[in-house]
Amino acid sequence: MSKIYLYDTTLRDGSQGEGISLSVEDKLKIVSRLDFLGIDYIEGGWPGSNPKDMEFFHQAARLPLSSSRITAFGSTRRPGITVEADSNLRALVAAGVGTVTIVGKSWDFHVYAALGTSLAENLAMIHESVAYLRGRGLEVIYDAEHFFDGFKRNPEYALETLRVAVRAGAGWVVLCDTNGGCLPQEISAIVSQVHEVMVVPLGIHTHNDGALAVANSLAAVAAGVTQVQGTINGWGERCGNADLVAIIPNLELKMGYGCLPEGKMAHLTEVSRYVAEVANVGQPACQPFVGVSAFAHKGGIHVNAVMKHTDTYEHISPEVVGNQRRILVSELSGMSSLVLKLKEAGLPELEPARARLMVEKIKELEYQGYQFEGAEGSLELLLRRIVGQYRQLFKLESLKVIVEKKSEENVVAEAVIKLRVGERVVHTAAEGDGPVNAMDNALRKALVGFYPQLADMHLADYKVRVLDGNNGTAARVRVLIESRDRSGSWSTIGVSENIIEASWQALVDSMELYLLKTEIGSQEPAAGRQVSEVRENLV
């Protein structure tokens, strides 16, 4: 099995993406996780550009890495000065790493328009910079910026920039589609030509401006490159870089190359989500291989087929990349979806007639605006009511929410709540930053004395969507709440013309489900009459 070397530039190129900012501590955490995954090269930043990156290299030198080599990034010397006088090159040496990557111009247009110098001077800049770094015992990776654009316009000069870097001692030559505008067939044809004349191994660095960064990287590997550069989750400037999270399984599972150490592929989803969490960046649900929707099945025909054989609608097993299959219940679902959801929740099956009625009820609720595929917590609570594994733990007597703003002061919200818990009535109040926060605080305050485990869960996200904008401020709204505890998260839903009522529904569902799961087995089930009443109301 041929080896493809992985070069991660999340900490440098990836952090240039809009909305992404990483502290030194963030970078160190990500490095440790990438090393655990088995990435060969981790580009830590540009030490000549800012003090933060230099501090990172000093601290990273103390990390006990087992798989990865930390790499510093910089550029060739500036026009008209010596390499010894170039502060960028001195900073690369001072970074204290064993491998450096320097970028140089390979497109004659860029030499004239961006550098403002001659073609001969650019060649001298490349040669002298590589030789300077090699003379100090460093492994040098040469990134040929805009190589494909340059090759298409002046192939001989583009190739000469590579030859100069190799003569000076570069150990790798990386061909860059910096503008991200090439097609896979162009990448394949040009890489093949370069591969025939290069005496050092080639790499590929693509951007995603044409939505082809992953495809172009795979085409380059098929044409002969043995190093792939990219970022975790495809972050990067403009439309991003090639996504290593998609490249790795395609190379290993579809093309037969070796990338990661044995057994590490199963941690790909975990690493992808960890990096996103550290950077505080949301992940697209539909992200291939690792997204929460990557193996989610919604249509009734799809679900029925997947139950018989997963290969019918899955190109790989989700467990191979550390993900999991999800069966969604919606207006498009059939009996198969409901059977699987009951099984997932550890609930007994319903008899066929009642199950069919339940599916119709779900479709009716979704017509009203509920969306259970995004609120599986509320769906589980609904199923628990149907099968009799529901016990009302508290009952609302009254709720009042007051929002007050005085002059230039901030808005203050207060919720006054009266609950019945068993035979006791609790009447209390709490303030919050807004009405939902105030309701959450008041409900917790009323219940925590009875259910102390509520201290271990919290509201993690809150979303509102207007379902019919034609009705203006009287429109029906859908509220989705995500809650978390130390072991995971769950989402619940509420729908109403009143945003407070919709929020209350979702909030109560969230707490009820959590309490039922933590209380199950320690309490007696509801009386038969109560269970029957619940069933009649719902079904």
Domain ranges across the chain:
5-261, 262-327, 395-538
Residue partners of 6: CB distance under 8 A and separation at least 6: 38, 39, 40, 41, 227, 228, 230, 244, 248, 259, 260
Q: What is the pLDDT of residue 165?
A: 98
Select from 352, 337, 345 the least CA-distant residue to 389. 345
The lowest-confidence range among 8-12, 301-305, 407-411 is 301-305
* Neighbour tally for 62: CB within 10 Å: 7
Angle, helices 335-344 vs 300-308, to 10°: value is 60
Strands (E), 365-423: 395-404, 412-421
Model confidence at 266: pLDDT above 90:
yes
**Could you tell me the sign of the dihedral formed by the alpha carbons of 329, 334, 337, 339, in that order?**
positive
Q: Tens digits of per-residue pLDDT, 186-205?
A: 999 999 999 999 999 999 99
What is the CATH number that goes with domain 395-538? 3.30.160.270
How far apart are the C-alpha atoms of 513 and 490, rounded to whole Å? 9
Dihedrals phi, psi of 439, to nearest 5 degrees: -65, -45
How far apart are the C-alpha atoms of 257 and 235, rounded to whole Å? 24
Average pLDDT over residues 20-33: 94
Both tokens assigned to 73:
């990034």
Average pLDDT over residues 464-481: 74
Q: How many CA atoms lie within 13 A of 13 on its CB side?
A: 32
Class of domain 262-327: few secondary structures
Mean pLDDT of the chain: 87
Asked whether the whole model's pTM tops 0.75, one would answer: no
Residue 341, CA distances (Å) to 14, 164, 301, 358, 362 in order: 38, 62, 16, 12, 13
Q: What percent of the chain has pLDDT over 90?
A: 64
Q: Tens digits of per-residue pLDDT, 419-465?
A: 999 899 999 999 998 899 999 999 999 999 999 999 999 988 888 88
Residue partners of 242: CB distance under 8 A and separation at least 6: 204, 205, 206, 207, 208, 213, 214, 216, 217, 228, 229, 230, 231, 234
225 close to 250: Cβ distance less than 8 angstroms: no
DSSP string, 459-511: EEEEEEEES-GGGGGG--EEEEEEEE-SS-EEEEEEEESSHHHHHHHHHHHHH
**Could you tell me the sign of the dihedral formed by the alpha carbons of 438, 443, 448, 452, in that order?**
negative
269 close to 260: Cβ distance less than 8 angstroms: no
DSSP string, 114-158: II-S-HHHHHHHHHHHHHHHHTTT-EEEEEEETHHHHHHH-HHHH
Model confidence at 535: pLDDT above 60:
no
How far apart are the C-alpha atoms of 53 and 26, rounded to whole Å? 12
Model confidence at 330: pLDDT above 60:
no
**The domain 5-261 belongs to what CATH superfamily?**
Aldolase class I (3.20.20.70)
Using 50, 70 and 90 to split pLDDT, how confident is the model at 536?
very low
Residue 56, CA distances (Å) to 25, 27, 235 in order: 8, 7, 20
Using 50, 70 and 90 to split pLDDT, how confident is the model at 538?
very low
Both tokens assigned to 336:
């198969």
266 close to 260: Cβ distance less than 8 angstroms: no
Residue type, 28: L
Average pLDDT over residues 478-504: 88
Q: What is the pLDDT of residue 524?
A: 37
